[in-house]
Amino acid sequence: MEKSPLVEKVLFKIARQWIAGDTMDDALQSARQANKNGMNAILNKLGEHMVSKPKINQTVDEYLTLVSNLRKAKVTGGLSIKPTQVGLALGTKECSKNLETIIEQALQDLAFVWIDMESSEYTSDTFAIYLSLFEKYERLGIVIQANLKRTQKDLEMLLRKGAKIRLVKGAYHESPKNAYRTRHDVDENYKKLMKRLFDDANEFAIATHDSKLIKMAINLSRKHERKFEFQMLKGIRDELKPTLVKDGFAVAEYIPYGTNWLPYSIRRLKERKRNILLLGSSFIHSHRV
């Protein structure tokens, strides 16, 4: 269903909380601010499900320029890339080739690369691409989603490979056959997966805005000496991020940018009711006189 101009306008005002802006310069400015606040920056060019070869090539070029500009701007952090924006719709070979081009450049500029996870139809292909590239490139991470029923098994496989893992709740609409549908079930699975990460993971990220899960991660970190970081969206939990940094935890801010903000923003709002409340709180706070 097409969004009315008024609805889009309202959504854009909300979306501005977590999106740096339309341009790469906007993203770099946000990234520098994140670094200034003691956090790493993870930049993502908005867009997905691309099937046009010229559009895909344009996106790859944009990421190559972004990596170069991160170094020039002395930004600490890296990129997060969706496989379907760099060719997965055309096949795993095309996607892998394009990702490798970006990773090669990132390696030269000391930037870390995360391969984002999308809906479950792409999960197996994304893992296959990641593991193939991870054999050659150490500074490469993969995302797992707590809402998917298959993730426990996937995590065990990734741990055996020494993968670098980001744990998220999951933002895509999935069938009950593939995914847990209630917040309670997703949270319980998240806890179980997080415990496994603290038990055996090599390097990982806890990506959540949920206070209970963050507290649990803090408690687990006191029992296990592990290299990990908290990752949160730009504009959400801004009151908590400085506290975590001050307490000595590594924190990274996920910073999307670009004009294709609508599908991403709607997904974020649908993800969990809690996100809407957190966003509303951040939005009101930032507009107080």
Closest-CA residue to 194 (of 168, 163, 160)? 168
Tokens of 84: 């379907």
CA separation for the pair 47, 16 (Å, rounded):
16
Known active-site residue 16 = no
Residues 116, 154, 187, 210: which is the catalytic one? 116
Residues 71, 139, 166, 268: which is the catalytic one? 166
Q: Which helix (H) or strand (E) holds 252?
A: strand 250-257
Distances (CA, A) of 61 to 30, 56, 245: 21, 9, 33
Query: What one-character DSSP code corresponds to residue 83?
Result: G
For 87-120, b/e burial (b = at least 16 CB within 10 A) is bbbbebeebbebbeebbebbbebebbbbbbbbbb
SS3 43: strand
Known active-site residue 267 = no
Tell me how crowded residue 223 is: count the other CB atoms within 10 A of its CB. Answer: 9
Active site residues: 116, 166
